[in-house]
Amino acid sequence: MRILIVDDEPGMHDSYRRSFAPADGGNDGLDAMAAELFGDEAPATEAREHFALTHASQGVDGVREVERALAAGEPFAVAFIDVRMPPGIDGKETARRIRALDPEVNLVIVTGFSDFSPLEIARVAGPADKIFYIAKPFEVAEVVQTATALGQRWHADRELAAARAQLARQVVQLEEQGRELAANESKALFIANHDSLTEAPNRLAFLRALGERVRGDRGLAVAMVDLDRFKLVNDTLGHLAGDDFLRQIHAALSSHMPAGGMVARLGGDEFGLLFEAPGEEAAEMLCQRFIGDCAGSFRIFGHSVQGGASAGLVFVHPDAQPDPIDVLRRADLALNAAKQSGRGVARVFDESMDESIRFRRRIEGGLAQALERGELSLAYQPIVAGHDLEIVGFEALLRWNTEEFGPVSPAMFIPIAEESNLIHELGDWVLDGALAELAHWPGQYVSVNFSPRQFRRHNFVGHIVERAQRAGVEPHRVQIEITETAIFDDADRAAETLYKLRQMGFRIALDDFGTGYSSLYNIRKFALDCLKIDRSFIDGMGRERESAAIVHSIVHLGRSLGLTVCAEGVETEAQVQALRLAGASHLQGYFFSRPVIAELARDMAAERYMHSPDAEEEPLAANGTHG
């Protein structure tokens, strides 16, 4: 420990040398001194410090020694300073100059009497907690104990300052990483929601906007526009000219779009229009104007090209709140009718265009009687661990086999049930059946799908808990599958609901992950156990680099957040190997097993492992995932 002695009396320097000379003995006195100076938190000494003394007979010399020590990187821990040192500067001025050079050094004023009060010295050489006083003549133990205690404090202060500096650097680094992550996420969101050619909103963004606006209290016009001459431009002038044509069409459509409206490129030469209108007639008039905008002459790479377009229009009345996908389907039907009419026109949808509407109504009537007729059943598809193919659970899937229509796809009847209260009755039947089947499995869990309307049900948590208790099922053996649509209708309420379910012990899986509104913030906000990668990405892994990149990103994200990642729709050995390499923790699909009846599921659960999956059999065309 380096100590500076500043005193004009040679005899005092000899006293300091004798005081700090190495000596044997205990350190009880030092501990007591440290406790008196710093309280209960003072560190206990284990061995006497080694003191390296530097002597100065005048204040100016002491200041120079401090400068040299700082330049050499060997600062003093403590400086003992006499007050009266004629003919040079006094102790007060010496202390002020030393403090100006080294804010960390501890100053000890040593004097028999002084022309300055402690307060005066503290004002020029503070802070007060780094200035101490010893009266002459002093005791050896007093000087040694003071130096030891202040030296230990000096070391502790430096370590604390270094730790704080390191923490500050880490905070700055984290803030920079946070800003970079936010910028990358913002860029990724823009790319995910916009067409790269025209920079118009894409189909995903259009569907999201449509889903939000159909719930409004104003009339909404939804139109699909298809170019009549696009193939001709591509074939005669080339794809670059076709790209420029699409950009000009987007600009033309946008020029007359009312405030708050949207022009989106849905794909190819098809555009989607979304705007408010006071009525169907006004919407049709504006849609005809859009057709006129597309029918003019366009200058493309020095060539004059005559445009043309057809449109299908659906007017959504205030407070109607239809299904957004169904609205877009109707607009597409109206567009087909416009093309069949000779092109270059806008047609408004009417129900005569849709034979499926009548079929839909018949399905809805039959669904109401399905339970009574015993037409409903449950099938179970195994979920296997990726590393050893152990069957860890089954997804319960609802099946409906009618006398009139034969098997009806869940993709058809679930949306119909969702639009009525039938979804709650069907959902309860599925949940009760799946919970009852758990008693026949040695330890696997069952995964049950819940639609957005079920999830918004009053006291949803209590309803699930009551049925699990009635069946005598432990919550950890039940996985609740929900889609992003279900939780984003009311994100705050959804977050609270999921948190309560997790607190009760239920597993939570986010189904069809990657196809909705997900972001890093959303994944952190909701209490989840599992991300289920949508089958469309699995199917595209072998053909599209984008799909493979998305799968790898989702797996990495899930693992980073401590979530399991289940890949759905696994159908080939190549997909299995690719997903294993990517790190997917669970796999599900026809490669391992189609959905099977309860009896076969019991046999599979008892065997526990998938030994030889049937990979040669052709996969089914569709697999409903709703319960």
pLDDT digits over 234-285, tens only?
A: 888 888 999 999 999 999 999 989 999 999 999 889 999 999 999 999 999 9
Are 586 and 459 members of one domain? yes
Position 543: which residue type? R
Please report, for the domain that includes residue 461, its CATH number. Answer: 3.20.20.450
Are 387 and 503 members of one domain? yes
Work out the average pLDDT over 344-365: 80
d(CA 297, CA 228): 13
d(CA 566, CA 43): 54
Sheet with 106-111, edge to edge strand ranges = 52-56, 2-6, 78-82, 106-111, 131-135
Beta bridge partners of 564: 530
Are 453 and 597 members of one domain? yes
Check residue 590 and give its pLDDT. 94
Query: Does some domain include residue 396?
Result: yes
Please report, for the domain that includes residue 93, its CATH number. Answer: 3.40.50.2300
Are 128 and 83 members of one domain? yes
Work out the average pLDDT over 354-361: 72
d(CA 127, CA 338): 86
Q: Which tens digit of pLDDT belongs to each residue from 576-591? A: 999 998 899 999 999 9
Work out the average pLDDT over 526-549: 84
Are 279 and 135 members of one domain? no
Do the Cβ atoms of 444 and 391 come closer than 8 Å? yes
Are 348 and 382 members of one domain? no
What residues make up the domain containing 9? 2-162
Cβ neighbours of residue 331 closer than 8 Å, sequence gap 6 or more: 222, 223, 224, 272, 312, 313, 314, 349
| Percent of the chain whose predicted confidence (pLDDT) is above 90 | 47
């696997």: which residue's tokens?
A: 444
Query: Does some domain include residue 358?
Result: no
Strands (E), 414-563: 445-449, 478-483, 507-513, 530-533
| Percent of the chain whose predicted confidence (pLDDT) is above 70 | 90
Last residue of a domain, one of 102, 131, 162: 162
Are 327 and 383 members of one domain? no
Are 229 and 103 members of one domain? no
Check residue 243 and give its pLDDT. 92
Are 347 and 383 members of one domain? no
Query: Does some domain include residue 543?
Result: yes
Q: How many domains does the chain have?
A: 3
Q: Quickly count: other Cβ atoms within 10 Å of residue 509's Cβ.
A: 24
Q: Which tens digit of pLDDT belongs to each residue from 105-127? A: 999 988 776 666 777 787 887 78
Check residue 612 and give its pLDDT. 46
Check residue 484 and give its pLDDT. 79
Query: Does some domain include residue 168?
Result: no
- Which two structure tokens, joined as six digits, stand for 191? 């790319």
Check residue 30 and give its pLDDT. 53
Query: Does some domain include residue 387?
Result: yes
Q: Which tens digit of pLDDT belongs to each residue from 222-237? A: 999 999 878 888 888 8
Are 423 and 568 members of one domain? yes
Query: Does some domain include residue 495?
Result: yes
Are 7 and 110 members of one domain? yes
Return the closest-CA partner of residue 395 out of 295, 511, 494, 297: 511
Are 157 and 210 members of one domain? no
Return the closest-CA partner of residue 442 out of 599, 604, 610: 604
Last residue of a domain, one of 162, 186, 219: 162
Check residue 518 and give its pLDDT. 53
Query: Does some domain include residue 627?
Result: no
Query: Does some domain include residue 186?
Result: no
pTM, rounded to two decimals: 0.48
